[in-house]
Structure 1
Amino acid sequence: MSVPRRFLPSIASLRALEALDRLGSASAAAAELSLTQGAVSRQLQALERQLAVELVVREGKSLSLTPDATAYAEEVRYALDRIAKATLQLQSAPLAGSLNLAILPAFGMRWLMPRLPEFSRRHPDVTINMSTRLAPFNFASESFDAAIHFGNADWPGTQALLLKHEQLVPVCSADLAGRAKIEAPRDILSLPLLHIQTRPHAWSDWFARQNVPTDGNLGGTIYDQFSTISQAALHGLGVALMPDYLVEQDLATGRLVALHHASEDIGGAYYLVWPTSKSRHSGLSQFREWLAGQAQPEDPLPR
């Protein structure tokens, strides 16, 4: 897309505007930018002429921004920050480089990590930097190239690759299961329910699929991560509705017991999500292409 020149002020003028807004005085802005106050004033005048908008209130030697200019300066600050981050990323990774990836802690540890050695062997020139995020965020405000996200692929301004539908199974400790008489899904209501913060309606949806009526007010304790809720279940504190890939080993060893015959998909899946603007990112393209081969339903979890 070609942007008219009048909408692309010089970086020097924009830096002067941003510095005046942030620092509050022309002298402070001049000192930071290694300019004279006169030079700062001339940069602002040039910006006003180009935009045909009054930006600066001049009272003697004092300069301050109009309310509209203050709002504009906030947007400029964000844009300059994005330019700086993009430049730093280009300089630190001039070839295939690095991929900044946000991951969900449990899915990242149990599903993604066992698979990553293969990607590293295939693409040794791509470095993946990972940070955990429990909830969706704004790609515009955080410098991630992509994220592994749970939901319905409805993140605005993005594209997505389906990785895995979430299959849930109710589990509890062997001791709790031995003391309870669970003959049908409705019997689970007699036990303490453990809830995960990121799936507030999971139990309600699960009982609805089993045709078990509830009053919609299912009590129980709430946990913010699967790692803590699984420990609560292992120690007999109640029944947790867990993704099957997280509990298969505990079920196999008998540490946990499934209270229903099969895991079920009650909506939602894991996706690789990336901003549309990053679609041609070299490292992301290689990672996305490789990950597509790992996302088949029949793909077993590596041991």
Structure 2
Amino acid sequence: MRRSLVPPLYALIAFESVARYGSIMRAANELHLSQSAVSRLVKQVEDAIQVRLFDRIRQRLILTEAGNAYAEDVRKLLSGFEQSTLQVMAYGSGGQAGTINLGVFSTFSMKWLIPRLEDYRTTRPNTVISCYARPQPFSFDEDPLDAAIHYGEPIWPGASVEPLFGEQLIPVCSRRLPGLRELKTPQDMMKLPLLHEVTRPWSWKHWFEQQGVTVGSPLLGARFDQFSMVAQAAKAGLGIGLVPHFLFAEEIRAGDLHVPLNRPIAGEHMYYFVYPHRNAANAVVLDFRDWIIAAAQQQQSAAALRG
């Protein structure tokens, strides 16, 4: 991109304000500038792109068709700049100064990680763990995170990958689900609404196949982008969800979630702690790595004792 064609940011801010208000005076008040300064900035934008953005009619500014389209694009860009700035500000100084910015799955962090962070904090009171939801793969080169929780293959370019544990997927629903009393076999499950987590599109197909039920095509049913939403939909009686047992063990024990057929299957992959090679000597990140691996081992031991 030829950056010489792009007007200065402060001029674009002035243009957007004038476009929004349709008034030099109101834009000047918002920006705490003189009206003549705002007028010069708007002209600077028009001169830079060589397009008339306003029609000046009886001391009023009316956006031209080009001006209206440009104003919408500039508004989106300025909003993006603001969101990016707030995000980077939230990241703080990173692991180098006692803060770890961790990419997580939302449900994993709420149900498993955050309840255990009190243990971490009591022994490391000067380290702050900040969690940011990242449901889709990302690059450490483009996202200023110090580490992440990963589910899938043990592959992450430019990063170290440490195994944590696997999972058991188990069907759950509400005891009030219509048709539940007629459910006796895995085949009967096909007659009831199935709830899906969008990042695990084949989980139900694998579950049925392991029960000896042939499934010829992708299964229909409502889809949700977090396991917490799947579980909530199951509680509400919308259908049967297939969820990681370790994330919802408390709800199952309490009876908030009912297991219609106690036939769990192993998940296809494992959870991993990953961190970029640039943090290979970062003492704070490495200490958190050791802590979360120990917490994962406790998770596995507790699961083995239960059954």
**What TM-score, normalized by structure 2, do the two folds share?**
0.66
CA contact (8 A) 2:165 2:270 kept: yes
Using the alignment, how far apart are the partners of 1:216 and 1:138 within structure 2? 33
Moved over 6 A (4+): none
Change (3 A) 1:94 1:197: closer
Give 1:23 shift: 4.0
Within-5 A mapping of 1:238-277:
238-277=239-278
Using the alignment, how far apart are the partners of 1:110 and 1:116 within structure 2? 11
How many residues in Structure 1 have an aligned counterpart in Structure 2? 226
Match of 2:3 among 16, 22, 27: 22
Residues 140-196 of structure 1, C-alpha deviations (whole Å, 9 max, x = no match): 110011111211222222211222212100111101277432222121111111111
Q: Which residue number corresponds to residue 107 of structure 2?
A: 106
Using the alignment, how far apart are the partners of 1:125 and 1:179 within structure 2? 51
Q: Which residue identity lines up with residue 254 of structure 1 in the other structure?
A: G
CA contact (8 A) 2:174 2:237 kept: yes
Q: Which residue identity lines up with residue 168 of structure 2 in the other structure?
A: Q
CA contact (8 A) 1:193 1:239 kept: yes
Q: Which residue identity lines up with residue 289 of structure 1 in the other structure?
A: D
Gaps of 5+ in 1: 1-19, 29-84
SS of the aligned residue for 1:129 comes to strand
Change (3 A) 1:137 1:108: same
Give the % identical residues. 36
Q: Which residue identity lines up with residue 232 of structure 1 in the other structure?
A: A
* 1:124 lines up with 2:114 in the alignment: no
Change (3 A) 1:24 1:181: same
Q: Which residue number corresponds to residue 12 of structure 2?
A: none
Within-5 A mapping of 1:1-303:
21-24=2-5, 92=93, 96-176=97-177, 179-296=180-297, 297-299=300-302
RMSD: 3.1
CA contact (8 A) 2:95 2:285 kept: no
Change (3 A) 1:215 1:180: farther
Q: Which residue number corresponds to residue 27 of structure 2?
A: none
Q: Which residue number corresponds to residue 34 of structure 2?
A: none
